[in-house]
Chains A and B, each alone.
Chain A
Amino acid sequence: MGVMRDLSVGWLLSSWERLNGDASIVKKAWQITGLHATFDRQVQRAAGKMRDVGKLWRVPQGYDAEIGDEDEQQLFSKGFDFEPDEDDLVPLAQLTARATAKAVGASSSAAAAATSIQNVAA
């Protein structure tokens, strides 16, 4: 089945290029996430529980304690500068920022600033 393996590479590349050529599909995925974060009750409940960050976000051991002020400033004051669609990202970013802020013990203002962070999601 070596031929199939070789062919599969072409299929994946072609599909990836087709999907990647239309940024709206990827942005839509982010947008859907944002809408869910805003309207879905399950997430609302989960967000309410995020006070217990260690349990729900499962912040990796060591990360929370070792992100110092300097790193924090850098993290929160600068994001990747290639204009993500902030409107789409705000709900997720806010949740992310809140969790991050709690994890590093940052203030709420730092959490708000973190909404501009460019996320990379896998």
Chain B
Amino acid sequence: MQLVPAGNARTYHTKNSLDVSVANGDDKRGYTAVLASAASGKMLPLQVIYGGAEGSLRALPNVLCRATVAAKGFVFAQTPTHWSSQGSMRKYIIGVIDPYVRSMIKASNGQLPVNQKAVLLIDCWSVHKSEEFLSWMKEEYPHLIILFVLGGTTSKFQLADTGLNRPFKVVVKATVKATYHLWYVQDVGQQL
């Protein structure tokens, strides 16, 4: 998605040039939003992963922005590639999955034991299957029982794939279109 209004893709460069450099044209910032849902129909808070050195906070949004969404349960992570990693996955369990299960236990008003077990259905990504991750889960969260989506059936059983990712991306794009250009026009207008 191109965010900065760039006119009609024409330049003043010599006609038929093979290579035309465009300022910031190749400047790409990616991030990962980790989606999960519960069978109740609730979407769990997102984990947002930005590219940057793990353990550092430099690539993350500013404190005020983080605080706003943290109140909704969002968690942040930073990895060199902005993809999930062993470390970010652990943070996800700690920051999103476990709090959700605990909140459901609390909401049951004593009908569920504090160590109520829950099923976590995840796909066969290498980190999920790694002994390091599974050992850690077993050690730290024995009440979370991990089941894996059948090999080769991700498109059928991976819920994010079957019906969450696409609507979410559509909504994000619509939100960006609705707000970014307005912000851009206002911001540029103030500086003119």
Q: Chain A: residues with CB nearer than 8 A to chain B?
A: 1-2, 4-20, 23-33, 36-37, 40, 42-43, 46, 50, 56-63, 67, 71, 74-75, 78, 80-85, 88-89, 92, 95-96, 99-100, 117-122
Contact = CB atoms under 8 A, between A and B. Distances in A.
Contacts of B50: 5
Contacts of B46: 12, 16
The majority secondary structure among interface residues of chain A is helix
B36 A122 contact: yes
Given A10-B179, A32-B162, A119-B119, A25 B167 contact: yes
B39 A118 contact: yes
A59 B40 CA distance: 25
Interface string B39-59: 111111110101000000001
B159 to A, nearest CB: 5
A96 B118 contact: no
Contacts of B74: 9, 12-13, 16
Interface of B: 3, 27, 29, 31, 33-46, 48, 50, 59-62, 65-66, 68-69, 72, 74, 92, 97, 100-101, 104, 107-108, 111-113, 116-122, 124, 129, 131, 134-135, 137-138, 145-148, 150-153, 156-160, 162-164, 167-168, 171-172, 175-176, 179-180, 183
Contacts of A61: 131, 134
A82 B163 contact: no
A15 B172 contact: yes
Given A4-B3, A16-B43, A80-B112, A25 B172 contact: no
Contacts of B41: 23-24, 26-27, 30, 84-85
Contacts of A57: 147-148, 150
Contacts, number: 230
B84 to A, nearest CB: 10
Contacts of A5: 29, 31, 50, 59-61, 65
A74 B117 CA distance: 7
A46 B149 CA distance: 11
A6 B162 contact: no
